[in-house]
Amino acid sequence: ATYVNNLNVTEEKYQEALAKGDVTAQVSLQPALKFNGGGHINHTIFWTNLSPNGGGEPQGELMEAIKRDFGSFQKMKEKMSTATVAVQGSGWGWLGYEKDSGRLRIAACANQDPLQGTTGLIPLLGIDVWEHAYYLQYKNVRPDYVKAIWNIINWENVNERLQMARK
């Protein structure tokens, strides 16, 4: 709710700045728009990507695409885990869809930067590596958190996101 509330307040200020033609205010508000908008988008995707009944391996078209683009599910997991753990400070690890090539790609974004706005990839699966996501359970051992999160990934949701991205 904090991201949405802050986004709404910032949007209101931005609209006022537009109406006044205040370019300085417009520019100064852009980081808050990106941070709060990205935080809302990223967390909305993240929570649907998880399920207490998740884990295992993806099925169908998603698994076929993973095998085609990474060689195997295990290789994709390793590549995404490595990229996610390597995020400096806070950020996100992503499995995204590149519309132009029709391929899956791994990417990482700092802070709350939204994947699509940062890389052009359509987000399918996101792993939050802000410390608040894992510190209570995993302390500062990010690799253990990333290893464990695969046990609750909602592959149905990720597959649905791929279907939508391909349209």
pLDDT in tens, the chain (167 residues): 899 999 999 999 999 999 999 999 999 999 999 999 999 999 999 999 999 999 999 999 999 999 999 999 999 999 999 999 999 999 999 999 999 999 999 999 999 999 999 999 999 999 999 999 999 999 999 999 999 999 999 999 999 999 999 99
- Nearest Cα to 98, choosing from 130, 70, 123? 123
69 annotated as ligand-binding: no
- Do 118 and 145 lie in a common domain? yes
95 three-state secondary structure: strand
Please check whether residue 55 lies inside any domain of the structure.
no
Does the residue 15 lie in any domain?
yes
Token pair listed for 40: 């809302």
The verdict on 157 and 100 lying in the same domain is: yes
φ, ψ at 93 (rounded to 5°): -105, 140
Q: Is residue 139 included in any domain, yes or no?
A: yes
Residues 154 and 77 grouped into a single domain: yes
Do 151 and 85 lie in one domain? The reply is: yes
Distance of CA 116 to the CA centre of its chain: 9
Same domain, 162 and 118: yes
Cα dihedral sign, 104-105-109-113:
negative
Q: Is residue 118 part of a domain?
A: yes
Residue 54 lies in a domain: no
Domain count, the chain: 2
Residue 140 within any structural domain of the chain: yes
Residue 148: domain span: 60-166
38 lies in the same domain as 65 = no
Give the Å distances, CA to CA, from 11 to 1, 5, 44, 125, 140. Answer: 15, 10, 19, 27, 35
Q: Is 100 annotated as a binding residue?
A: no
106 shares a domain with 43? no
- Determine if residue 40 is labeled as part of a ligand binding site: no
3-state secondary structure of 104: strand
Provide the whole-model pTM. 0.92
